[in-house]
Amino acid sequence: MKNTTVKHLAIIMDGNGRWANERGLKRTKGHEAGAETIRDITTYCAKHKSIETATFYAFSTENWKRPKHEVEFLMKLLDKHLKNELKTYHEHKIRFQAIGDIGSFSKALQERIRQTQEETKTYTNLTQILALNYGGRLEITMAVNALIKDGKKVITQEDISSALQTPYENIDILIRTSGEERISNFLLWQLSYSEFYFTPTLWPDFTSVELDNILEKITKRKRRFGGL
């Protein structure tokens, strides 16, 4: 039994719409404010002594059900965000990666994603992962189908882990903002032994100070991984 060391942090960024509604603003303003929070939290993680990877749930496979105008805005915001954040990635030596089915995006957005990944692929200070058109069930299904296509007759847990888009060590902590307490089809395989923390803070109001306090609490938790 040992204390939790946070190397891989995952965040479900929830509450942009409610943040905007509480202020009498359009939901799009909440998404813009939320994008600023991503920058602040990513920069904090890049400076943290133990965090190596930060994964953010940015757009799920279910988010296509939202109004068309909001989805279109989110696509434009993502393109703008990646363009603007390239400076941050270079400054803090952050590697950008995307997981999910980006083939459903426009050709221009797909190219922006690929280009950003290419330009930052040598950085090792932090890996920032954006889950885009992502669903945990879809990721597992795609991994199994890829293994079958490769001729696998008997599939092990190790095989699936290696075939996932996120073949990293198990995630140490999942944080969800806005007070909701569910994982919403996010990283289902990787979260099997993760610590969970739910905060009522809406995502645009979430700060590095609150994250620092959460991590301080989490590191005091004892992890058993099924043992005593």
Q: Using CA atoms, how far apart are residues 165 and 141, in angstroms rounded to an integer? A: 11
Neighbouring-strand partners of residue 176:
12, 198
| Sign of torsion over alpha carbons 216, 226, 135, 151 | positive
CB 97 within 8 A of CB 127: yes
What's the token pair of residue 153? 């007759």
How far are the Cα atoms of 29, 87, 117 from residue 95, in angstroms, in the given order? 27, 12, 7
- Is 125 known to be catalytic? no
- Is 150 known to be catalytic? no
Q: Using CA atoms, how far apart are residues 107 and 65, in angstroms rounded to an integer? A: 21
CB 188 within 8 A of CB 73: no
Among residues 3, 14, 84, 213, the one annotated as catalytic is: 14
Q: Using CA atoms, how far apart are residues 215 and 20, in angstroms rounded to an integer? A: 27
Among residues 3, 16, 21, 63, the one annotated as catalytic is: 63
- Comparing CA positions, the residue from 127, 55, 54, 119 lying closest to residue 95 is 127
Catalytic residues: 14, 63
